[in-house]
Amino acid sequence: MMDALSNRNVEMDARTPKVGVLLVNLGTPDTADAKGVRIYLREFLSDPRVIENNGLIWQIILNGIVLQIRPARKAKDYLKIWNTEKNESPLKTITRAQAEKLAASIAEKNVIVDWGMRYGNPSLKSRIDVLTAQGCDRILVVPLYPQYSASTSATVIDKVASALKDMRAQPTVRFTPPYYDEPSYIDALAASIERHLATLSFKPEAIIASFHGMPQSYIDKGDPYQVQCVATIDALRKRMGRDENSLMLTFQSRFGYQKWLQPYTDQTIERLAKDGVKKITVATPGFSADCLETLEEIAGENAEIFHHAGGEDFSFVPCLNDSDEGMDVIRQLVLRELQGWI
């Protein structure tokens, strides 16, 4: 009798609707070689949200030039930061850790937490399939971009919609909003920077907050990204008691020849060094996890630019990653947006 009842309870649990949470970041090559980078870049640079003018001319440039030259170069950069123990990029390692820690922190809520990448693997479709197979009829998708942009947050929404369109039994889906001015996020950034500064043997003359760049034309068409980056820095300056000279806003990672958001991070760092600034610290508040753009471009490439231009001491503030402060930001955001579901 008890065995029959137990089996019935297991069957009922399997049929009980569950809530899923899907953490999403940009993506990464599966391997740190030209082939892996080429596969990743083809998907990334074919997205019309990323390259808006991606007609025939762009396809010729992409396939005839970019994908023939850039993969080998970028593969060398990935090798500099690659997690050789797990044979994966740091972004994948960190995003997995964020999902695991979030799951542990809200275990009593009976929520299933998973993670995926907009480009590359694990794909969003594969993770949505896994969550629905586990009985999730409601899924909260969490784009891990503090500031909204059509080329980041919106393309996650596009991809999720694409994954759902062929499903007969679709789950109900919510998306978390950008959190660029959330108090927990600003507090976490401030605590992270202040803790880093306390470990230095020098006092930086300026702190640079470097955000990922974007073509100026995207902003001119109405993308709110720049406004939200400014709002983040305004709040962080107020929280840390700094002005625009001691906490500077810049934009990195230009691609192509069109005008991008300014001031540019690399040019600003070079100018500061040439103007006699000897000690700086760089933080990257727009990134929720360390990746190629933070570990190689900022901590590596931009550090070299500073030193070659006459600078002496350069330090890089790690992203929030899966730190206690970083996880508190994600946990608060998720629990708020799950209201009514749990």
- Domain limits of the chain? 13-179+325-337, 183-316
pLDDT averaged over 10-residue windows placed end to end, the chain, 342 residues: 43 68 98 98 97 94 96 98 98 98 94 98 98 97 98 98 95 98 98 98 98 98 98 98 97 93 98 98 98 98 98 98 98 98 94
Peptide bond into 183 cis (omega under 30): no
User: Cα Rg for the chain, rounded, in angstroms?
Assistant: 21
> Which pLDDT belongs to residue 15?
56
How do beta strands 172-175 and 136-143 pair?
parallel
Residue with the two structure tokens 């630019």: 305
SS3 letters across 190-226: HHHHHHHHHCCCCCCCEEEEEEECCEHHHHHCCCCHH
DSSP assignment of 231-274, as one string? HHHHHHHHHHT--TTTEEEEEE---SSS-BSSSBHHHHHHHHHH
Q: How many angstroms separate the first and last alpha carbons of the chain? A: 32
C-alpha span between 90 and 79 (Å, rounded): 11
> Which pLDDT belongs to residue 256?
84
> Which pLDDT belongs to residue 334?
98
Q: And the tokens for 202? A: 């020098």
Q: And the tokens for 151? A: 């080329």
Tell me the CATH number of domain 183-316, given options 3.40.50.1400, 3.30.360.10, 2.40.10.340, 3.80.10.10. Answer: 3.40.50.1400
> Which pLDDT belongs to residue 272?
98
CB 231 within 8 A of CB 181: yes
Strand, coil or helix: 114: strand
* Statement: the pTM of the whole predicted model exceeds 0.75: yes
Q: Residue 281: which region, alpha, beta or left (left: phi > 0; alpha: psi -120 to 50)? A: beta
> Which pLDDT belongs to residue 254?
93
Question: What order of strands is seen across the sheet that includes strand 313-316?
Answer: 247-252, 206-212, 279-283, 313-316
* Architecture per CATH, 13-179+325-337: 3-Layer(aba) Sandwich (3.40)
- Domains 13-179+325-337 and 183-316 in one fold: yes
> Which pLDDT belongs to residue 255?
87
